C-alpha cells in the first residue's frame, strides 16, 4: 500500500519529520534566547547575594575586637576557673545569616524557581561562612599576639628589675618574635591552664573550635586563613 500523501504530494511521514525538525529548531532558538536574556539577570542576582553577604559579615564581625577584649578582662587577675565552653558571641556571628536564609527560604516561588532559591541560599551561606571565619582568624590572631607581646614585655621588665642578663626574653634571645600567637614552648594540651594568659588562650581556642563546628554544621568551608590559624593554635586546645 503506497504511503499517504500530503497536500503537495509529500508523504505523511516526511511531513511529520519536517514538523518535528521545525519544532525542535524553534525550541532550541527559544532556549538560546532565554539563556541570553537570563545571563545579565543571573549576574545581577549573584551581585545582590554578594552584597548581602558582605553586609552580613560586616555587621556580624563589627564587635569582634571588643568581644575578645572582654575575654581578656574575664580572666586577667580574676582568679576564674579555666574555660570549658565557647563564648556566647560565637553563635551570634551566624545569627544574621540564619535570619537571611529564613527570609530567602520563605519566598513564595514556583517549582521551577526553587533550584534558583536553593542555589542563592548556598551561595550566601558559603560566602558568609568563609568571610566570617577569615575575620575571626584575624581578630583572634591579633588578640593572641597582643597577649604574647605583653607577656614578653613583663618578662623583660621583671628580669631588668632582678638584674637578669640582657633584659630580654629567652625567645628574643633566640631570635624568635615575642608576638607569636602561640609562643615557643606553650602547649596546653592535656592539662587545665592555671596562668591567666593561658586561660585566655584556651578560651580563644574554644571559640575558634566552635566557629569551625558551626561552619561544618552549615555544610560550608572556612576561609583558608582560618584553616591555617586553627592548625597553628592546636597546642592551646584540650
Is 1 part of any domain? Answer: no
Range in 24-33, 46-55, 62-71 the model is least confident about: 24-33
- Mean pLDDT score across all residues of the chain: 84
Considering the entire predicted model, what is its pTM? 0.76
Average pLDDT over residues 5-10: 54
| pLDDT tops 70 at residue 101 | yes
User: How many domains is the chain built from?
Assistant: 1
Q: Could you give the CA distance from residue 139 to residue 153 in angstroms, rounded to a whole number?
A: 21
Which residues are CB-contacts of 82 (< 8 A; sequence separation ≥ 6)?
Answer: 192, 193, 194, 199, 202
Query: Looking at the domain assignment, is residue 133 inside a domain?
Result: yes
Is residue 76 a part of any domain in this protein? Answer: yes
User: Is 84 part of a structural domain of the chain?
Assistant: yes
| 4 within a domain of the structure (yes/no) | no
Distances (CA, A) of 103 to 111, 116, 228: 18, 14, 33
63 pLDDT tier (thresholds 50, 70, 90):
very high
Residue 7 counted as domain residue: no
Question: Are 234 and 190 in contact, with CB atoms under 8 Å apart?
Answer: no
Q: Judge whether residue 89 has pLDDT over 90.
A: yes
Identify whether 2 is part of a domain.
no
134-157 pLDDT, tens digit per residue, is 999 999 999 999 999 988 888 888
- State the average pLDDT over residues 150-174: 67
pLDDT exceeds cutoff 70 at 5: no
10 is a domain residue: no
Predicted local distance difference test score (pLDDT) of residue 166: 47
Query: 108 lies in which domain range?
Result: 17-236
Beta strands in the chain (DSSP E): none
Amino acid at each position: 500500500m503506497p504511503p499517504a500523501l500530503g497536500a503537495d504530494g509529500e508523504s505523511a511521514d516526511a511531513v511529520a519529520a519536517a514538523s518535528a525538525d521545525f519544532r525542535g529548531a524553534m525550541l532550541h532558538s527559544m532556549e538560546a534566547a532565554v539563556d541570553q536574556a537570563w545571563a545579565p539577570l543571573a549576574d545581577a542576582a549573584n551581585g545582590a547575594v554578594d552584597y548581602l553577604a558582605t553586609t552580613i559579615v560586616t555587621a556580624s564581625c563589627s564587635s569582634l575586637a571588643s568581644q575578645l577584649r572582654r575575654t581578656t578582662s574575664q580572666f586577667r587577675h580574676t582568679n576564674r576557673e579555666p574555660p570549658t565552653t565557647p563564648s556566647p558571641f560565637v553563635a551570634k556571628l551566624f545569627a544574621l545569616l540564619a535570619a537571611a536564609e529564613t527570609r530567602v527560604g520563605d519566598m513564595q516561588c514556583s517549582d521551577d524557581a526553587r533550584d534558583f532559591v536553593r542555589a542563592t541560599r548556598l551561595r550566601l551561606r558559603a560566602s558568609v561562612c568563609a568571610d566570617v571565619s577569615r575575620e575571626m582568624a584575624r581578630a583572634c590572631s591579633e588578640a593572641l599576639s597582643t597577649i604574647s607581646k605583653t607577656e614578653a614585655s613583663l618578662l623583660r621588665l621583671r628580669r631588668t628589675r632582678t638584674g637578669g642578663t640582657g633584659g630580654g626574653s629567652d625567645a628574643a634571645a633566640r631570635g624568635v618574635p615575642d608576638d607569636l600567637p602561640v609562643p615557643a614552648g606553650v602547649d596546653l594540651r592535656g592539662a587545665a591552664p592555671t596562668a591567666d594568659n593561658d586561660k585566655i588562650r584556651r578560651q580563644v581556642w574554644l571559640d575558634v573550635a566552635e566557629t569551625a563546628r558551626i561552619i561544618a554544621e552549615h555544610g560550608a568551608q572556612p576561609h583558608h586563613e582560618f584553616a591555617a590559624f586553627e592548625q597553628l593554635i592546636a597546642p592551646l586546645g584540650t
